[in-house]
Structures are given as C-alpha cells and as structure tokens.
C-alpha cells in the first residue's frame, strides 16, 4: 500500500474568484523558473525545478498537478493579486493521480479517494482533464451561491400561503430582488464556462479525456439541477415583484381614499360655513 501511495501525487482544483487577469499574471512570472503558455482562456505554468504543473483558467479557477499543499497555498496567495472579485468562500476538490496503461478516473472506496490514472505525461491530456475539474469546481461555487439565496428566501412562499402577504418593507423587497437578480445574472453570464470548451473544437483528439472527467463528476446532471434552482430563483423573483406591485397598488388606493375623504370633509365644511 505504501508503495502505491508513493507513486501518487496531488491534483487539486480551486475556485477563488469570479475571474483572473491571465495576461498580467503571465507577465509577472520569471521565465527562467517557469515554462509558460498563455491562450485565450487558460494559462499553463510548468515549474521547471520540480516538474509540477498548473492550469489557471480565466473564470477564476486553477488546477494544480504535483504541487505540495504548502506550494498550493503560496500560489493561491500569489494568484489572488490578479483576481477580479475574489470569493468569500474558496471551493476546492482533491484528487490523487498516478501513471498507468489507460487514462481513467475512479473512486477508491477503501481509501475514500478519487484517483486519476494517466496514460502519458502529455500536458494536453492534463489540460483536457483540468477543463473538466475546473468546470466542476466552478459549478460547486455556483451551487453554493444559489443554495444560500434559495434558503434565505425559502420562507417567502410560506408567508404568502399563511398570511397572504410578505412581511417585508418595500425597501427590503427591493433588496431581496436585487440579491436574487445578481445571483441569477452572475451565473447566466458565466454559464459559457459550463459548456464544452472551444479547446476541443481545435483539438478533438483530446475531447475523450474531458468527457471521462465530465461523466465522472456528473457535470451534465449538475448543470441541469443548477438550472432548476435558477428557475426557483426566478419564481421567487416573480413572487417578490408581484408583492411589490400589490403594495404599490394598496398605497395608491390608500392615497385615493384619503384624497376622497379630504374632498368630502372640505365639501361638508364649506356647506356648514355657508
């Protein structure tokens, strides 16, 4: 068992921000210490002194291959400098990888560990798998954000069912609507990161490795579930909008009634005076 463990290395995916400035990050690295390749959506960094590698994606995720936990923490702190809208809660997913005859991903029930087996050290294979790992951890971030918003507003339908209205002021309703809208829009604007990456349009020979990863992490089903939760948020938004319109209509009715009463009072006063 110790022999098998010694052949395995760490593979960890992180989601720490909404996005990264990859160009600035690439320009900041010393070319003597790193082999760097920058494309439209990913920065490949090979650390020459130990052969470990990283794939840093512009949608706020990065995947480390062969780094120690301490090195990963250092890189996370460094990359944070180039992050746009850092996340309050960092998402991470841990794997172990080893070399073998075929590329596979399995769950080892005994050791409670997900193991990636690579048929080659080709960085393109690691990149293909990393696309799937990055999508999965980004999806976890989306799932967590939606779940928090749904839980925070889950009492609203109950209030309407029990009392016929929501016990929130107009200002509070506007704030809730803003929070829900931001949650929906941030995910919708970044939903392209959950589609098959363009990399595989140009490199179809490596798509099978991405597919293996996507199936193992159940990404298609999770995307469907996320869309269903977004539909729930839309329903909550509709409820709040309806309640806001109701409050506005009630206010207008109250004003109209008050004006009519004032008019009646003035008329009665004038008659009394005359």
In this predicted model, what pLDDT tens digit does every residue of 152-194 receive, in sequence order? 877 877 777 787 777 777 777 778 778 777 777 777 767 677 7
What's this model's pTM, rounded to 2 decimal places?
Answer: 0.80
Give yes or no for residue 2 having a pLDDT over 60. no
165 and 39 in contact (C-beta within 8 Å)? no
Q: Mention every residue, 6+ apart, whose C-beta is less than 8 A from residue 246.
A: 165
Give yes or no for residue 197 having a pLDDT over 60. yes
153 and 180 in contact (C-beta within 8 Å)? yes
Give yes or no for residue 104 having a pLDDT over 90. yes
What is the average pLDDT across 49-66? 96
Using 50, 70 and 90 to split pLDDT, how confident is the model at 1?
very low
CA 76 from chain centre, in angstroms, equals 17
Could you give the dihedral angle defined by the CA atoms of residues 62, 127, 34 and 26, in that order, rounded to the nearest 10 degrees? -60
Give yes or no for residue 5 having a pLDDT over 50. no
- pLDDT, residue 31, reads 82
Strand partners, 13: 63, 93
> In 10 A of CB 249, how many CB atoms?
10
Instruction: Tell me the average pLDDT of the chain.
Output: 86
What is the average pLDDT across 196-210? 93
């Amino acid at each position: 068992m110790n022999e098998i463990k010694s052949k395995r290395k760490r593979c960890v995916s992180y989601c720490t921000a909404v996005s990264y400035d990859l160009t600035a990050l690439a320009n900041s690295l010393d070319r003597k210490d790193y082999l760097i390749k920058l494309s439209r959506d990913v920065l490949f960094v090979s650390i020459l002194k130990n052969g470990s590698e990283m794939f840093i994606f512009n949608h706020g995720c990065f995947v480390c291959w062969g780094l120690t936990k301490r090195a990963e923490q250092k890189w996370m702190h460094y990359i944070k400098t180039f992050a746009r809208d850092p996340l309050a809660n960092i998402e991470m997913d841990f794997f172990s990888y080893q070399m073998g005859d075929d590329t596979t991903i399995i769950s080892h029930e005994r050791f409670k560990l997900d193991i990636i087996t690579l048929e080659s050290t080709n960085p393109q294979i690691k990149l293909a798998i990393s696309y799937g790992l990055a999508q999965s951890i980004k999806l976890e971030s989306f799932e967590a954000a939606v779940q928090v918003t749904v839980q925070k507003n889950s009492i609203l339908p109950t209030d309407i069912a029990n009392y016929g209205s929501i016990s929130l002021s107009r200002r509070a309703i506007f704030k809730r609507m803003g929070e829900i809208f931001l949650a929906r829009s941030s995910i919708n604007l970044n939903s392209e990161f959950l589609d098959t990456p363009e990399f595989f349009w140009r490199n179809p020979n490596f798509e099978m490795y991405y597919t293996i990863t996507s199936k193992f992490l159940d990404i298609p089903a999770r995307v469907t579930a996320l869309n269903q939760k977004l539909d729930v948020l839309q329903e909550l938004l509709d409820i709040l909008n309806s309640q806001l319109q109701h409050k506005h209509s009630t206010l207008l009715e109250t004003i109209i009634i008050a004006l009519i009463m004032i008019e009646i009072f003035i008329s009665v006063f004038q008659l009394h005076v005359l």
